[in-house]
Amino acid sequence: MEEKKKTQEFQVEEDFEIEESNALKVLRGKGEENENPHASNIPQKKVGRLENFWYLHKWHLGIGIFVLVLGIIVLVQFLTSVPPDAYIMYTGPQPIIGNDYENLENAFEAAMGDYNEDGKRGISFTDNTFLTEAEIERRRAAAEEIRKTDPDYPAYTYDANANSAAYQRYMAEINGGSHMFCMLDPDLYRGLAELGGLVSLREIFGEVPEGAEEYGIRLGDTEFYKCNPKLKFLPSDTMLAVRVPSTLNLSSSEKKEKQLEAHKQLLKDIWEYTETFETEE
């Protein structure tokens, strides 16, 4: 009997009801009791074909447009470029910056001929700032001379790594580059001449011009330099010479011979130049 009574005490009616909370009553009144609380209330936008295509292929289109623009730029440059009549290189202590490039180009184009007979004059120019040991010692001595009267004046220093890299670039050009007309520091000129890398002036002029050396002409001795104040940024002792064509980066001996004749003529034109350059007021 007692056991039956305990069982009845723990029985729960199945049809009991739980009273609704106030919050549920409010939601029921608004008709929101079955809504998903995480659902977005932002109205859905219908996406058109063009927008869908752009979404799926925008990266491909972007790359394609970039390649197209790049191709157009290259094509325009190719169509408007002037094939060089001469390939000129400078290696020496003077950095060439800013308007110096344009001044050099204008000076050469005024003195040279249309060697490739295309109706235009143009040059390809490359430069390399390099200090020889003699130039470094000269600058160091000049600084020390100033320091005798001005102790606060800094001692001369230079970037040895950059200078070494510049010399490597110079040697790479000499051993396999295409620039045949040389404007060189005197020590570099003599070293290249001793290696047999320069054309004798006898082959160009028939004899060595008065005041010139066997393989080169001093820039400061030419009217080309004296008459053009915009070239005075270059050291007057810069040597002008023509490389032998054996190491030129050209595919045939015929092309090398044409290049040789053009650059021999350029050296003659510079040596014989007597006109006065126009100067801006």
Instruction: For residues 146 and 40, give the distance between their C-alpha atoms in angstroms, rounded to a whole number.
Output: 80
What mean pLDDT is predicted for residues 91-105?
94
User: pLDDT at residue 1 above 90?
Assistant: no
- How many C-beta atoms lie closer than 10 Å to residue 39's C-beta? 7
What pLDDT, in 10s, does the model give residues 176-211? 888 999 999 999 999 999 999 999 999 999 999 999
- The whole-number pLDDT of residue 187 equals 97
Distance CA 255, CA 257 (A): 5
* Structure confidence at residue 113 (pLDDT): 92
Tokens 């039956």 belong to which residue?
A: 4
Nearest Cα to 263, choosing from 107, 106, 85, 108? 85
How far is the C-alpha of 225 from the C-alpha of 218, rounded, in Å? 10
Helix ranges (DSSP H) in the chain: 2-9, 22-30, 49-80, 100-111, 133-147, 160-176, 186-194, 201-205, 223-226, 253-271
User: By the 8 A CB rule, do 265 and 181 touch?
Assistant: no
pLDDT of 281 reads 42
120-128 average pLDDT score? 92
Is the pTM higher than 0.85? no
Q: 123-129 and 86-92 as β-strands: parallel, antiparallel, unpaired?
A: parallel
pLDDT at 280: 46
Tens digits of per-residue pLDDT, 46-62? 656 766 666 677 787 77
In the prediction, which pLDDT does 83 show? Answer: 81
- CATH number of this structure's domain 78-132+159-271: 3.40.190
Which pLDDT band holds residue 214 (cuts at 50, 70, 90)?
very high
Instruction: Note the pLDDT tens digit of each residue in 218-273.
Output: 999 999 999 999 999 999 999 999 999 876 655 567 777 888 999 999 999 999 99
What average pLDDT does this structure show over 97-109?
94
Nearest to 279 by CA among 241, 240, 227, 236: 227
| Tens of pLDDT, residues 128-183 | 999 999 999 999 999 999 999 999 999 999 999 999 999 999 999 998 888 999 99
Closest CA to 241 of 176, 190, 183: 183
Q: What is the pLDDT of residue 191?
A: 95
Q: Using the predicted structure, report yes or no on whether residue 125 has a pLDDT greater than 60.
A: yes
Question: What's the length of the chain?
Answer: 281
Residue % of the chain over a pLDDT of 90: 58
The string of pLDDT tens digits covering residues 5-33 is 555 554 545 555 556 566 556 556 655 54
Q: Which residue has the higher pLDDT, 13 or 216?
A: 216
